């Protein structure tokens, strides 16, 4: 694709999608895209073509809506690109795979600044680059006439490298429940932003740019994980999917969870004290850090980055999640649900 000559200087208020036009914007955005190692055919044709190492491809998609999943006044374009990529890369990791490519659909108001879109593309590229992945295709359209909001859809493709895909349905009684990555930081950062503050920086950054433990996913698959998912809606909610699909009870060990997520004391306690919030509520119900949770057969030597936080018990007629034997709902009622920020259809 030829690089278009911008008609207006970059950063000029008139440098919008409407003025530069679809193909001009795509050219400038693609300049940010980087190269996917697995691409036989990259962006610019009817479709991309990706190599798969073992005759299979992992595929997942997420939609992010301005005002519901991100705010342009709270996050930079780069932040939003990184976060949108991270959510999908974590889904692929939670199967035991490594992301090879993204496809990105974007509906944006015609007056969207071209530089904002370049920032978004840069953020997507930065998050993908360490894995050798990049954006290989996309579609850019005008938002609905009644909307000034950006809608972003990201599809990630990934490679299992011969590993068995780790599903949500494989947890068995006696398995160890383990965690990789952090919990509650994004929710704590959101709580701070919602109250009009922008520090502590550590949690606000965690909300803007989550850092999922991508390598822990394939690592868990290699170690024989029986079930796995990423924590996008909150630990209790996402473990609830594993419990339901595996027909088991997942019992968390409160002390182990506190050790893993709240020791040594740090910004979660600091913000919790300031706001009168039990930081354990962020750990239990906060999503968007995209930690990974998995179950492993008993006596498995947990791979690097994983710590035990509970165990799997027989589900009987009531699969679900508990903390030290107490039903998750009662625990949330006691500590609060500060993390449960994202109501899907409010």
256 lies in the binding site for its own copies (CB under 8 A): no
Q: Is 247 in the site for its own copies (CB under 8 A)?
A: no
- Min separation Cβ 313 and its own copies, Å: 21
328 in Cβ contact with 240 (< 8 Å): yes
Q: Which of 15, 230, 251, 338 touches its own copies by CB under 8 A?
A: 230
Q: Does 14 bind its own copies (CB under 8 A)?
A: no
Query: Residue 72 is encoded by which pair of tokens?
Result: 């342009």
CA distance readout (Å), 107 to 27, 30, 104, 125, 209: 17, 17, 10, 19, 22
Among 6, 105, 266, 320, binds its own copies (CB under 8 A): 105
Residues 77-96 that bind its own copies (CB under 8 A): 91-92, 94-95
Would you count residue 151 as binding its own copies (CB under 8 A)? Answer: yes
Token code pair at residue 288: 């968007």
CA gap 171, 249 in Å, rounded: 9
Contacting its own copies within 32-51 (CB under 8 A): 40-41, 44-51
Q: How far is the CB of 110 from its own copies (least distance, A)?
A: 5
Phi-psi region of 46 (alpha: psi -120 to 50; beta: other; left: phi over 0): alpha
Residue (of 119, 44, 46) closest to 80 by Cα position: 119
Smallest distance, its own copies to C-beta of residue 124, A: 14
Does 141 bind its own copies (CB under 8 A)? Our answer is: yes
For position 145 contacting its own copies by CB under 8 A, the verdict is yes
Q: Are 269 and 164 in contact (CB under 8 A)?
A: no
Choose the binding region for its own copies from 104-112, 174-182, 300-308, 321-329 (rule: CB under 8 A): 104-112
């Amino acid at each position: 694709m030829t690089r278009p000559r911008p008609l207006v200087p970059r950063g000029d208020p008139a440098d919008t999608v409407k003025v530069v036009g679809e193909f001009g914007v795509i050219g400038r955005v693609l300049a940010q895209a980087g190269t996917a190692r697995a691409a036989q055919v990259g962006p610019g044709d009817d479709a991309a073509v990706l190599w798969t190492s073992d005759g299979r491809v992992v595929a997942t998609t997420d939609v992010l809506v301005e005002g519901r999943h991100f705010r342009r006044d709270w996050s930079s374009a780069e932040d939003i690109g990184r976060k949108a990529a991270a959510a999908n890369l974590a889904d692929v990791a939670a199967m035991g795979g490594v992301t090879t490519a993204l496809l990105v659909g974007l509906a944006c108001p015609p007056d969207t600044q071209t530089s904002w879109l370049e920032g978004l593309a840069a953020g997507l590229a930065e998050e993908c680059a360490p894995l050798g992945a990049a954006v290989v295709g996309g579609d850019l359209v005008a938002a609905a006439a009644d909307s000034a909001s950006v809608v972003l859809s990201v599809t990630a493709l990934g490679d299992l490298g011969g590993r068995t895909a780790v599903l949500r349905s494989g947890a068995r009684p006696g398995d160890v429940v383990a965690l990789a990555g952090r919990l509650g930081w994004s929710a704590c950062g959101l709580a701070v932003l919602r109250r009009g503050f922008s520090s502590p920086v550590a949690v606000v950054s965690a909300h803007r740019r989550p850092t999922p433990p991508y390598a822990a996913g394939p690592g868990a698959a290699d170690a024989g994980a029986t079930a796995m998912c990423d924590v996008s809606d909150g630990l209790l909610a996402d473990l609830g999917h594993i419990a339901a699909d595996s027909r088991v009870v997942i019992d968390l060990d409160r002390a182990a969870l506190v050790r893993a997520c709240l020791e040594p004391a740090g910004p979660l306690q600091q913000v919790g004290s300031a706001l009168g919030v039990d930081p354990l509520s962020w750990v239990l119900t906060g999503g968007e850090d995209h930690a990974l949770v998995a179950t492993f057969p008993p006596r498995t030597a947990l791979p690097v980055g994983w710590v035990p936080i509970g165990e799997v018990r027989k589900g009987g007629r009531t699969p679900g999640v508990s903390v030290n034997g107490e039903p998750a709902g009662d625990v949330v009622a006691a500590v609060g649900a500060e993390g449960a920020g994202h109501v899907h259809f409010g």
